[in-house]
């Protein structure tokens, strides 16, 4: 049986050899690690020693785009000042405009000396080793410039800029179209630089504004001083809506018609050259006369007698007055009845017989026949003067009473006496035609104080209104019979009333005598 023999010596020798190799390898690795660590540290130490011994800014130090590597302080300060304070690289802009300026132009000033000192301090002082390590690894250290902000100067610059870039607002205006009608054009906002907002943006963080390289100018809408003139249009519209008041007076019936001229007619005459000026009208006379002719056809057996001058329409419109028209009754016809004569017909139609006779040549008091058609003149023939508007005397033969009216209100009333049955007072519409302080009636040898003639009973013989008459002998007549028919055709009042009426009623005042 063969036996295996182990040789310890050989086995131990191999094992030892492997163990020594591992130790050697570990030592080598350790040396390499130590060397790896010692070389940078040596470099850093060397750099630190270099930093301490030299007055140059370290390589890789920059202030923005300004590279300051290996520059002494004074030269670095010049470089910084030239770029940051004297080069037009900062942009100021809004939606429409852009300006390139130096930062000091908007109040941002970079202190070149302090900024250079800040760059010089890299690798020195408290952050020296760490900053050197950063330079060793990144090859660059960026230094923020030392910035100051001059708020007052920036405000002055921006205010000046605003005067050149602001877009002014446009106030609302009024304009006229081709027909002369006014319309409103709305105001338009302007745009302006909000100086204080821009100042606030810079002031909040001058460093950030500088580093961004631009300033977006805040703009603000500038409202117009007058944005809307629609209220002015309403005011102007009032001019075109201002009416012209018309009135037509029938002195015979005392009827007063009032109305306004159609506004579409008036509006076409209105002119307003300046919306803030005074309007005026230019009356189209032909249009106005045509309108009156059409209106006249609607008032029955009447026509326009006379009227205010057309030129007064402007003043009437401006002052808010009234344009007055006086109406006249047209002539009528009367068919003679059996037993009629001109005197009787005159009492029926309110007109002296001789006026009817004048209108019907060939007739006389009794020379008319039944069935004959007579022309009865216009009742206005008894009003030879322009009637006085607003005054009227009304007399009742039946009641033996007088009422005096002024401006449609009763002014006074009086007991009177009218003509006796054999010399009656004629009913009708007449007017005051004459004034005599003391008229003499030769037929009866009496004096009539404060006499006012109203109609001629026969040509040359005037009946009227007066105070109690007195005979040439001095005897006062009819003082005790007022209220009864007593005169020879006139209307009698007491002395005081007669004088008062004489002073009040000018020629032209209408006198209406009722049966």
**504 and 412 within one domain:** yes
Confidence band for 54, pLDDT divided at 50, 70 and 90:
low
Q: Is the pLDDT of residue 32 over 60?
A: no
Quick one: average pLDDT of 209-225? 92
**339 and 253 within one domain:** no
Assigned domain for 301 exists: yes
Give me the CATH number covering residue 289: 3.10.20
**173 and 101 within one domain:** yes
Assigned domain for 116 exists: yes
Q: Which residue has the tokens 């002494």?
A: 72
317-345 confidence digits (pLDDT tens): 999 999 999 999 999 999 999 999 999 99
Across 138-142, 346-350, 491-495, 501-505, least confident range: 138-142
Top pLDDT among 266 and 29 is at 266
pTM of the predicted structure, to 2 decimals: 0.62
**214 and 139 within one domain:** yes
Q: What is the pLDDT of residue 52?
A: 53
Most confident residue range from 134-138, 176-180, 309-313: 309-313
Most confident residue range from 27-31, 33-37, 86-90: 86-90
**483 and 463 within one domain:** yes
**452 and 365 within one domain:** no
Domain that holds residue 346: 332-382
Confidence band for 38, pLDDT divided at 50, 70 and 90:
very low
Q: Are 251 and 391 in contact (CB under 8 A)?
A: no
Which residues share a beta bridge with 410? 405
Q: What is the pLDDT of residue 34?
A: 39
When divided into structural domains, the chain yields a total of 4
**337 and 323 within one domain:** no
Quick one: average pLDDT of 65-93? 93
Q: What is the pLDDT of residue 127?
A: 62
Q: What is the pLDDT of residue 20?
A: 41
Which residues share a beta bridge with 322? 245
**Average pLDDT for the chain:** 88
Orientation of helix 8-53 relative to helix 128-138, angle to 10°: 110
Q: What is the pLDDT of residue 33?
A: 35
**378 and 398 within one domain:** no
**59 and 183 within one domain:** yes
**Last residue within a domain, chosen from 228, 261, 281:** 228
- In sequence order, what are the residues at sequence separation of 6 or more whose Cβ sits closer than 8 angstroms to the Cβ of residue 131? 58, 122, 123, 141
Q: Is the pLDDT of residue 369 over 90?
A: yes
Q: How are beta strands 491-493 and 461-467 bridged, if at all?
A: parallel
């Amino acid at each position: 049986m063969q036996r295996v023999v182990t040789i310890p010596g050989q086995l131990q020798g191999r094992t030892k050899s492997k163990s020594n190799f591992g130790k050697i390898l570990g030592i080598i690795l350790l040396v390499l690690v130590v060397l790896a660590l010692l070389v940078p540290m040596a470099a850093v130490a060397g750099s630190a020693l270099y930093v301490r011994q030299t007055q140059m800014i370290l390589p890789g130090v920059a202030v923005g785009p300004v590279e300051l590597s290996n520059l002494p302080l004074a030269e670095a300060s010049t470089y910084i000042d030239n770029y940051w304070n004297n080069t037009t690289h900062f942009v100021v802009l809004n939606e429409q405009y852009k300006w390139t300026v130096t930062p000091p132009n908007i109040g941002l000033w970079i202190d070149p000396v302090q900024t250079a000192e800040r760059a010089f301090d890299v690798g020195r002082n408290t952050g020296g080793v760490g900053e050197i390590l950063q330079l060793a690894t990144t090859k660059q250290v960026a230094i923020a410039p030392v910035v100051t902000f001059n708020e007052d100067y920036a405000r002055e610059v921006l205010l000046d800029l605003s005067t050149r870039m602001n877009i002014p607002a446009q106030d609302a205006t009024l304009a006229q179209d081709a027909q002369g009608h006014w319309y409103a054009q709305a105001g338009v906002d302007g745009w302006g630089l909000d100086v204080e907002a821009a100042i606030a943006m810079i002031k909040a963080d001058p460093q950030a504004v500088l580093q961004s390289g631009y300033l977006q100018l805040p703009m603000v809408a500038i409202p117009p001083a007058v944005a809307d003139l629609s209220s002015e249009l309403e005011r102007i519209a009032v001019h075109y809506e201002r009416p012209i008041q018309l009135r037509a007076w029938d002195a015979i019936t005392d009827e007063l018609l009032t109305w306004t001229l159609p506004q579409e007619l008036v509006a076409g005459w209105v002119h307003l050259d300046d919306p803030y000026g005074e309007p005026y009208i230019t009356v189209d006379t032909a249009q106005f006369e045509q309108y009156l002719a059409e209106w006249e056809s609607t008032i029955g057996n009447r026509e326009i007698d006379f009227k205010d001058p057309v030129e007064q329409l402007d003043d009437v419109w401006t002052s808010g007055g009234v344009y007055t028209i006086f109406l006249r009754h047209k002539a009528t016809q009367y068919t003679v009845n059996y037993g009629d004569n001109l005197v009787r017909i005159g009492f029926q139609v309110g007109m002296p017989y001789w006026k009817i006779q004048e209108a019907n040549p060939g007739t006389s008091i009794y020379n008319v026949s039944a069935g004959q058609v007579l022309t009865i003149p216009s009742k206005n023939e008894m009003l030879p003067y322009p009637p006085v508007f607003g005054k009227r005397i009304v007399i009742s033969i039946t009641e033996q009473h007088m009422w005096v009216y002024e401006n449609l209100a009763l002014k006074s009333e009086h007991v009177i006496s009218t003509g006796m049955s054999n010399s009656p007072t004629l009913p009708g519409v007449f007017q005051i035609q004459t004034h005599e302080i003391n008229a003499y009636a030769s037929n009866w040898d009496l004096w009539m104080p404060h006499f006012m003639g109203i109609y001629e009973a026969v040509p040359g013989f005037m009946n009227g209104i007066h105070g109690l008459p007195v005979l040439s002998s001095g005897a006062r007549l009819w003082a005790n019979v007022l209220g009864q028919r007593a005169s020879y055709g006139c209307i009698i009042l007491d002395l005081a009333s007669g004088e008062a009426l004489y002073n009040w009623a000018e020629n032209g005042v209408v006198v209406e005598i009722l049966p």
